[in-house]
Chain A
Amino acid sequence: DIQMTQSPSSLSASVGDRVTITCRASQDISNYLVWYQQKPGKVPKLLIYAASTLQSGVPSRFSGSGSGTDFTLSISSLQPEDVASYYCQKYNSAPLTFGQGTRLEIK
């Protein structure tokens, strides 16, 4: 089965910083990659699908890129409300697999 590896596992950055989270698949998954945001105590929310397509209503400071095995989630200017854990997930075929998550905090 395909494994998903995220890095870093945690990240602390200042308001206004550009933040990048990476996700690596153990095999080629084309662009079947989705990113979720989970704020503390809340339900995961779909942010980006097809590696780079922003879900409706998601602020434009979020962006995704990549194809094949290497993917990134970027926040162009970190805001306090972006404090959350971020998860990648591959969906090219079952089983669906999540990365282990990246916890993002404000410095």
Chain B
Amino acid sequence: QVQLQESGPGLVKPSGTLSLTCGVSGGSISSNINWWSWVRQPPGKGLEWIGEIYHSGSTNYNPSLKSRVTISIDNSKNQFYLKLNSVTAADTAVYYCARGLGGLLDYWGQGTLVTVSS
């Protein structure tokens, strides 16, 4: 059973950089059939896809966030990462990592709340 777990600071200052890690267990992040996504959900609002990465390092991003987002991967650690810079209060959200299979997201982490505040 694949499991994903997000980790990282729960509080980030405005204009700073949000950095999260997603650890994958029960499966290989180097799988040829999976992409690895980040999704966020502001409190009381809907889901927003941030972007995805393949084990080769290829990425796709949400155009609305592309200028501020970097997703990277470490196959040796079975982890992938999210960096979002120049954050504002609008970036306060629960951040999920998820496994992609042909574009649908079949396994999700539990999510981690990141608050942007001074």
Decide yes or no whether A46 CB sits under 8 A from chain B: yes
Among A44, A85, A101, max chain B CB count under 10 A is at A44
Q: Which of A18-26, A67-75, A86-94 contacts B (4 or more CB under 8 A)?
A: A86-94
Nearest Cβ on chain A to B10's Cβ, whole angstroms = 17
By the criterion CB–CB under 8 Å, are A101 and B110 in contact? Answer: no
Closest B residue to A45 by CB, please name it: B108
Q: Which of A39-55 contact B (CB under 8 A)?
A: 43-46, 49
By the criterion CB–CB under 8 Å, are B108 and A43 in contact? Answer: yes
Asked, given contacts A94-B52, A96-B37, A96-B52, whether A43 binds B111 with beta carbons under 8 Å apart, the answer is yes
By the criterion CB–CB under 8 Å, are A43 and B104 in contact? Answer: no
By the criterion CB–CB under 8 Å, are A34 and B49 in contact? Answer: no
Nearest Cβ on chain A to B112's Cβ, whole angstroms = 12
Q: Which B residues are closer than 8 A to A by beta carbons?
A: 37, 39, 46-49, 51-52, 60-63, 96, 100, 102-106, 108-111
By the criterion CB–CB under 8 Å, are B47 and A43 in contact? Answer: no
Enumerate chain A residues within 8 angstroms of B109, measured Cβ to Cβ: 43
Q: Is the interface of A mostly helix, strand, loop or mixed?
A: loop
Asked, given contacts A95-B60, A95-B61, whether A34 binds B46 with beta carbons under 8 Å apart, the answer is no
Enumerate chain B residues within 8 angstroms of A79, measured Cβ to Cβ: none
Nearest Cβ on chain B to A37's Cβ, whole angstroms = 12
Closest B residue to A35 by CB, please name it: B104
Decide yes or no whether A97 CB sits under 8 A from chain B: yes
By the criterion CB–CB under 8 Å, are B103 and A92 in contact? Answer: yes
Please pick, from A32, A44, A45, the residue contacting B47 in the complex, using a CB distance under 8 A. Answer: A44
Closest B residue to A93 by CB, please name it: B103
Q: Which of A53-107 contact B (CB under 8 A)?
A: 85, 87, 89, 91-101
Enumerate chain A residues within 8 angstroms of B48, measured Cβ to Cβ: 98
Nearest Cβ on chain B to A40's Cβ, whole angstroms = 11
Enumerate chain A residues within 8 angstroms of B100, measured Cβ to Cβ: 96
By the criterion CB–CB under 8 Å, are A46 and B104 in contact? Answer: yes
